[in-house]
Amino acid sequence: QQQVRQSPQSLTVWEGETAILNCSYEDSTFNYFPWYQQFPGEGPALLISIRSVSDKKEDGRFTIFFNKREKKLSLHITDSQPGDSATYFCAASEGNYKPTFGKGTSLVVHP
Amino acid sequence: AQTIHQWPVAEIKAVGSPLSLGCTIKGKSSPNLYWYWQATGGTLQQLFYSITVGQVESVVQLNLSASRPKDDQFILSTEKLLLSHSGFYLCAWSRDSDYTFGSGTRLLVI
C-alpha cells in the first residue's frame, strides 16, 4: 500500500523556469511533511518541511504549498538552476517518527 | 555538531558471502536509528529501526539482520548475500528532529 505518491516520476525544465513537484498522501493522521533532496551517490538531505497547521512554507527559491483538505502538497522551485538537478523525495509522518517516503521525482534542469 | 558515519563506502561481494555494514552517530545521545535500502534510482525502503540499545525492529524481510550493540552504533549484516541485495544502503538517525542520513554504502553482489 503506497501511502505517499509523487508525480511526475521525472521532470525536465530549463534554467530559470519554475519546477513543480507534486505529492499526495492517504493517512489523515500525517501532520509533518519533509522534502528531501538527493544527489547521485549521496544520502538524501532535508531540504524543507511543513507541518499541517500551515498552508505554505518558503525557504529561498523553495516553497511548499499544502492543501490539508485534499491531502496534497507541492514543492515549487523557482528560478531553477542546473545545480538543482537531483531526486526529490516527499515524506509524511505523524510527528517525526518513521516517515513514509514517496518514490521520488527526478528533476533535470537544463542550462 | 552531530555526525553520522557509514562504513565501508562501497563493497563488491560474491553471492553467498557474508556482509557487515556499520553506522556510527556522534554528538547525539539515544538517537532513533534506521537502515534504508535503495535500488538504483529507486525509492527508499526502510529495513530496520531501533529506539534503544539492544532493541531492533524489522520492517521488511530481506534475509538481512540488524543489531545495535552500542547507543551510537547500528550494524546491518547477513551470513549469505543474494544478488538482490545489491543497492545503496543508508543509515539515518532522528531524535526530536528530522531524519539525517549518512552518505551511504554502495553494495554490488556478483
pLDDT digits (tens, 9 = 90+) for A26-61: 999 999 999 999 999 899 999 999 999 999 999 999
- The answer to whether A96 contacts B96, with C-beta atoms less than 8 Å apart, is yes
Residue of chain A nearest B88, judged by CA positions? A41
Cβ–Cβ contact A11 with B under 8 A? no
Residue A81 CB-half CA count within 13 A = 5
User: How far is B26 from B14, CA to CA, in rounded Å?
Assistant: 32
SS (H, E, C) chain A: CCCEEEECCEEEEECCCCEEEEEEECCCCCCEEEEEEECCCCCCEEEEEEECCCCEEEECCEEEEEECCCCEEEEEECCCCHHHCEEEEEEEEECCEEEEECCCEEEEEEC
Q: Which amino acid is at B67?
A: S
Which residues in chain A touch residue B102, judged by CB atoms under 8 angstroms apart? 43
Q: Which residues of chain B have pLDDT under 70?
A: 96-97
Is-contact B93 B33, C-beta < 8 A? yes
Cβ–Cβ contact B60 with A under 8 A? no
Residue of chain A nearest B42, judged by CA positions? A103
pLDDT digits (tens, 9 = 90+) for A61-99: 999 999 999 999 999 999 999 999 999 999 998 876 678
Task: Kindly state the cell numbers that stand for B89.
Answer: 544502503
Of A45, A49, A101, Cβ closest to residue B44? A101
Cβ–Cβ contact B42 with A under 8 A? yes
Q: What is the pLDDT of residue A1?
A: 54
- The answer to whether A96 contacts B94, with C-beta atoms less than 8 Å apart, is yes
Is-contact B72 B18, C-beta < 8 A? no
- Mutation to test the A interface, candidates B98, B105, B107, most A Cβ within 10 Å: B98
Q: Domain A4-110 has what CATH class?
A: mainly beta
Determine if residue B40 is left, alpha or beta; phi over 0 gives left, psi from -120 to 50 gives alpha, anything else beta: beta
Cβ neighbours, 10 Å, residue A81: 12
User: How far is A96 from A85, CA to CA, in rounded Å?
Assistant: 27
Q: What is the pLDDT of residue A94?
A: 86
Q: What is the pLDDT of residue B42?
A: 81
Which domains does chain B possess?
Answer: 3-109 (2.60.40.10)
Q: Is the pLDDT of residue A2 over 70?
A: no
Cβ neighbours, 10 Å, residue B34: 25
User: How far is A108 from B80, CA to CA, in rounded Å?
Assistant: 38
User: How far is B79 from B63, CA to CA, in rounded Å?
Assistant: 9
Q: What is the pLDDT of residue B31?
A: 87
Q: What is the pLDDT of residue B96?
A: 66
Best CA proximity match to B48, nearest among B85, B89, B96, B6: B89
Best CA proximity match to A48, nearest among A59, A56, A40: A59
Q: What is the pLDDT of residue A9?
A: 95
Q: What is the pLDDT of residue B27?
A: 86
Boundaries of every domain in chain A:
4-110
Which residues in chain A touch residue B43, judged by CB atoms under 8 angstroms apart? 89, 101-104
Return the residue matching grid coordinates 526502510: B46
